[in-house]
Amino acid sequence: MARIVKKFGGTSVADMERIRAVAARVKKAVDQGDQVVVVVSAMSGVTNQLVGYVTEASSLYDAREYDAVVASGEQVTAGLTAITLQEMGVDARSWLGWQVPVHTTDAHGSARIEEIDTKLLEERLNIGQVAVIAGFQGIGPDNRITTLGRGGSDTTAVAFAAALKADRCDIYTDVDGVYTTDPRIVTSAAKLDAITYEEMLEMASLGAKVLQTRSVELAMRYRVPLQVLTSFEDLPGTMVVDEEDIVEQAEISGIAYSSDEAKITVEQVADRPGVSAAIFGPLADANINVDMIVQNVGAADNTTDVTFTVPRADMERSVAVIEGLADELKYKSVASNDKVVKVSVIGVGMRSHAGIAAKMFATLAEKGINIQVISTSEIKVSVLIADEYTELALRALHTAYQLDAA
């Protein structure tokens, strides 16, 4: 007997036919003697629609009420999945975040799970009942519903797997695993049999939305055996594993891209000690997350250009912060651009292979793509380029690193 958490994303519970397919899959595991915890997302498209209603009601909405609205999609699918299981003769019960309870921080709209009380669930699992958990939601210290940020059902699933010491956490989605890059953009993308926690964490945080970043962090911290697979067929998926478990390490495992970037340049600012602190301190105080940074070599007039990236949604706020520093910094001008994309190549193989970054730059140069900003870490290289080149860059890099599916 194994204890397994199975999470079904929006396309896997998109309508009653899909929900019946989910229930049949769960029943099969129950009939084999497994203890099953099901985590469901809202039907695909529903969360976007709910967010749309909220922003239509008010552009400066109350985040607690946003959560009250957007958490409702998962309530519907949890109830329907439990009913469908019951209809098939499987003992099942739905659970909303507050009923478990899933305790979270009070950051409405992007709360973090702090603790899951598993006592009641354990009792039910031990009598053979299937628990169907509404993903994406919890309860905050203010006793109100919270949500975990978009894509948060993945995190619900991994957190339950960790808290219940499950033997595995299966994430069912609309692709049959983790690919070398987004298979919807690069048709020659190849499915990976396995990827390390570290690489998956970089892939997710650099833009691959197949798993929410936070879910990979939790899986890595609690060593949750994680599998990404399709709910549309019976196929093995991609296992997220420890580095030691990967036999042959390619130089690059994957390529990710993120359109959630905007570039800001402070032009001709004095090249003297303290300038960076004067720019980035106030941005941090405004809770703006600066990602990539580059400072050009000082010109003869002792000024320099400082370029950095921020989340696209924070671009205007960032420009306002810099404009507020005009008297102090005496720069010439501030420019902003959101027609950019961050493309990253990722792989633990980088630790042992030289020339990965050079190959990236040469490949982009060959295609005439200008690199605006670069940042690196031990297992990734990221570049910022004009967003019109996204597909061209992904395809060229995919071929250059020999990732194309045979």
Binding site for Mg ion (CB under 5 A): 9, 151
Neighbour-count burial for 334-349, b at 16+ CB within 10 Å, e otherwise:
beebbebbbbbbbbbb
Q: Does 41 bind ligand ADP (CB under 6 A)?
A: yes
Contact 133, 146 (CB under 8 A): no
Contacting range for ligand ASP; rule: CB under 6 A; set: 26-34, 109-117, 145-153, 326-334: 145-153
Among 178, 194, 264, 400, binds ligand ADP (CB under 6 A): 178
State the binding partner of 150 from ligand ADP, ligand ASP, Mg ion, none, CB within 5 to 8 A by kind.
Answer: ligand ASP
Q: Which option in Mg ion, ligand ASP, ligand ADP, none does residue 11 bind, with CB closer than 5 to 8 A by kind?
A: ligand ADP
DSSP tag of 379:
T
**Residue 152 binding result from ligand ADP, Mg ion, ligand ASP, none, given CB thresholds of 5 to 8 Å by partner type:** ligand ASP
The residue among 151 and 183 lying less far from Mg ion, judged by its C-beta, is 151
Which residues lie across from 5 on neighbouring strands? 37, 169
| Interacting residues with ligand ADP between 258 and 277 (CB under 6 A) | none
Listed residue (41, 118, 131) closest to 85, CA to CA = 131
> Least separation, in Å, of the C-beta of 27 and ligand ASP?
23
97 binds ligand ASP (CB under 6 A): no
Give the phi and the psi of residue 256 in degrees, each rounded to 5.
-120, 160
List Cβ neighbours of 277 (8 Å cut-off, separation of 6 or more).
none
Task: Identify the residue whose tokens are 């033997």.
Answer: 167
Could you tell which of Mg ion, ligand ASP, ligand ADP, none binds residue 175, using a CB distance below 5 to 8 A set by kind?
A: ligand ADP
Contact partner at residue 135 from Mg ion, ligand ADP, ligand ASP, none, CB < 5 to 8 Å by partner kind: ligand ASP
Helix (H, G, I), strand (E, B) or coil at 176: coil
**Ordered alpha helix ranges (H), 259-389:** 275-285, 315-323, 326-329, 356-366
CB 41 within 8 A of CB 9: yes
In the list 4, 6, 11, 147, the residue contacting ligand ADP (rule: CB under 6 A) is: 11
Does residue 208 interact with ligand ADP by CB under 6 A? yes
CA distances 356 to 162, 359, 362, 375, 390, Å, are 35, 5, 10, 13, 19
* Site membership for ligand ASP, residue 153 (CB under 6 A): yes
Return residues touching ligand ADP (CB under 6 A).
9-11, 41, 151, 173-175, 178-179, 181-184, 208-210, 254
Return residues touching ligand ASP (CB under 6 A).
9-10, 41-42, 47, 73, 135-136, 150-154
